[in-house]
Chains A and B, each alone.
Chain A
Amino acid sequence: MDYFAQQLINGLVLGSIYGLIAIGYTMVYGIVGMINFAHGDIFMIGGFIALITFLILVSIGLTTVPVILLLVLLVSMAITSLYGWTIERIAYRPLRHSFRLAPMLSAIGMSFVLTNFSQVAQGARVKPVPPIITGGYTLHEGADGFAVRLSNIQIIVVITTIVLLALFTWLVARTRLGRDMRACEQDQTMASLLGVDVDRTISMTFVIGAALAAVAGMMYLLYYGLVDFFMGFVAGIKAFTAAVLGGIGSLPGAMLGGLLIGLIETLWAAYFSTEYKDVAAFSILIVVLIFLPTGLLGRPEVEKV
């Protein structure tokens, strides 16, 4: 039982990170109807920028951990958002009203560019950082000596995710930008006729998605203590899987899918085999889609005849 509880905690933390990335996929899909294959790499860039900012701050003598974290978070979000914005401008906007496969391949190309850009710019080797946040709580100590632990970093990941999710839900539901986003999602032509700046709204969607991915990248850095140029691919595919599992286009779905993928992966690794944890995650996705072709919380597609 203790072992299970520990795996549950680990799974939820991993799932939170996936969920943060998945929101970016789902938002972009909702508004422009394309898979942003480069989103996983945006997450990776976010991780790198967090790492570099952290190194600089430490070497100029900053020692207060909360201040460092806040600055790293802000810089990483700011610069990564600009990546999201630029990619949309260069690779997607010219193809906005084009055939569906063209922007998707453009996105795959962009993903290659970003992966190899950071390989060229920062080298191929894994970049480790010493643990920044240490300590934690022992929740329960079993008779066999196995202790269920909740580390501070896990708490930070989960709390950050919850706060961002709340903020984001508020943004979509209550602000002018959110209303514009929902309008563009329904009908871009009509939205622009009613005075919504469609280009700006789409840009902002990419910016917000990238900012959330940057947070995920930073969390990943803090949690696993390393980044490398290739991590965007695997994390991207997992998050994309999560978004689809939850029902692409649905924000709660993305979070739910993220948590589920994180849990499936962790529990499978804990009880069955580490090697096949990804196979398990993908297989469950396929099985779910056989029965719910639009994911768990996706709107069922009504076939208009």
Chain B
Amino acid sequence: MAATASQAKTAHGLNTAFILKKAVISALVALVLFSLMIGIRTEAGSDGQLTWWTRFGDLAAMVAVVFGGSIVMELLRHWWGPVETVRVVPPSAQKAFSFAGRALVPALLIFAFLVPVIFYDERYILDLGILVLTYVMLGWGLNVVVGLAGLLDLGYVAFYAVGAYSYALLATNFGLSFWICLPLAGILAAFFGVLLGFPVLRLRGDYLAIVTLAFGEIIRLVIINWQTLTGGPNGISGIPRPTMFGIPLTPGDDGLAARLGIEFSPTHRIVFLFYLILALALLTNWVTIRLRRLPIGRAWEALREDEVACRALGINTTTTKLTAFATGAMFGGFAGAFFATRQGFISPESFTFHESALVLAIVVLGGMGSQLGVALAALAMIGGFELFRGLEQFRMLVFGGAMVLLMIWRPRGLIGHRAPTVFLERNTAISSDLVKEGHG
């Protein structure tokens, strides 16, 4: 450590005393912060009495980590220069990036289609792929509301839940097939989207945030407590698996494997599910891209830029907002129905605020409004989260910390520009510094 520090000093005139002082202060702060929370451990004994013991070793270790971490951070900051300089990207690099971006989309798409072929024997990767694609779809759905229309929605998980429960209830009670339930789930979720849209029409910013959050919580609490309908905290099990247009993917005689004359394998279903969610996600993407180029999509973006100007141009902001909520909710509902059929079991635990926050983080990290960015962010967040599986109880801690760091690193997301929806001569991307965020 000392060697690298002195080396840096000769190169850039590093102020060692300043760094050390900062590290000492950080360590002292950490000492106070952690003194009781880590230095002392409490636990309820078997008789209900609380006992406690000291963990000064852990405390010392944590303080040392903060001390060292502070020095490393300062050195990194010194070498990389202030954050602002990184943000100025030279035009040549921008061009290269946009070319890479254009090549990236087909490459990602081809890769996505090939995943079940490449990883046919690796069930874990297939499952992870399905999970990532589910979040890609949710991200794209929420992107309509947050990224395009600029309306904040902290309760997006409600529509995911409505979709999942719609399918589960319709399928278990009335025996309807997945393909009939899927549009119904979407319509029901869209209906709930409008239901949420009405009270928030006049609200802005943080009022919008709390109402959408409250809406998500209300849906979850109703699901938990309306036991006769939803099974309460126990959830609904035995949800029918999807069929390939009527042909079940089971080992029986009428199963797909038997009809094709191949040996049955449970992987068939996983592969089918993978392509199903891929198709649903791509449908979401296709519809969103089309909508952006239609008057309704432009009105959404205009709403994000300036609501007053929209009204002055004769745009009905009420219906514009409601269609944004409904469209986003519908995609959430589709994803929910898929989730239910994939899991075969759903319970309120899957639909907490946590999920809403995760999807919102994917949208914001993706770069609001960018379809590619959302897909990359979903891959990074969900894939990254899986990487930390081994950390067990530290996983969420790392996840939360990563969220903070990612936001500080890229407040405007991975893809920091907006593509115009129509052009005369040049299709030039617009820097995100100009793009407004909406009042959500």
* Partner-B contacts on A (CB < 8 A): 29, 35, 45, 48-49, 51-53, 55-56, 59, 75, 79, 82-83, 86, 90-91, 94-95, 98-106, 108-123, 125-129, 233, 237, 240-241, 244, 248, 273, 275-276, 278-279, 282-283, 285-287, 289-290, 293-295, 301, 303, 305
CB distance from A5 to the nearest CB of B (A): 28
- Of B102-110, B120-128, B321-329, B392-400, the one touching chain A: B392-400
In the complex, which of the residues A86, A109, A285 contacts B407, with contact meaning CB atoms closer than 8 Å? A109
CB of B117 closer than 8 Å to a CB of A: no
A-B contact count (CB 8 A): 187
Are B400 and A109 within 8 A (Cβ)? yes
15 contacts between A and B (CB under 8 A): A48-B36, A59-B52, A79-B35, A82-B33, A86-B33, A94-B83, A98-B411, A100-B205, A100-B437, A110-B400, A121-B37, A122-B41, A122-B42, A237-B214, A293-B204
- Closest B residue by C-beta to A75: B36
- Of B9-17, B43-51, B172-180, B251-259, the one touching chain A: B43-51
Are A285 and B403 within 8 A (Cβ)? no
Are B206 and A95 within 8 A (Cβ)? no
CB of B210 closer than 8 Å to a CB of A: yes
CA distance A220 to B437 in the complex (A): 38
CA distance A53 to B393 in the complex (A): 25
- Closest B residue by C-beta to A87: B404
For B48, list chain A residues within 8 Å (CB).
Answer: 128
- Closest B residue by C-beta to A233: B353
Are B210 and A285 within 8 A (Cβ)? yes
How many interface residues does chain B have, given as a range? 35 or more
CB distance from B236 to the nearest CB of A (A): 19
User: Given that A109-B404, A113-B397, A282-B214 are contacting pairs, would A118 and B37 also be in contact in the complex, using a CB cutoff of 8 Å?
Assistant: yes
Are A278 and B37 within 8 A (Cβ)? no
Q: Which of A45, A82, A101, A103 has the most CB of B within 10 A?
A: A101
Within 8 A of A (CB), among B382-422: 393-394, 396-397, 399-404, 407-408, 411-412
Are B42 and A82 within 8 A (Cβ)? no
- Of B131-139, B238-246, B343-351, B360-368, the one touching chain A: B360-368
CA distance A113 to B402 in the complex (A): 9
Going nearest first, the 10 A-B pairs with the smallest beta carbon separation are A112-B400, A109-B403, A102-B411, A113-B400, A282-B214, A98-B411, A275-B225, A116-B397, A109-B404, A116-B396
CB of B291 closer than 8 Å to a CB of A: no
CA distance A90 to B29 in the complex (A): 12
CB of B202 closer than 8 Å to a CB of A: yes
CB distance from B423 to the nearest CB of A (A): 25
User: Given that A102-B364, A105-B407, A286-B215 are contacting pairs, would A276 and B42 also be in contact in the complex, using a CB cutoff of 8 Å?
Assistant: no
CA distance A244 to B411 in the complex (A): 26
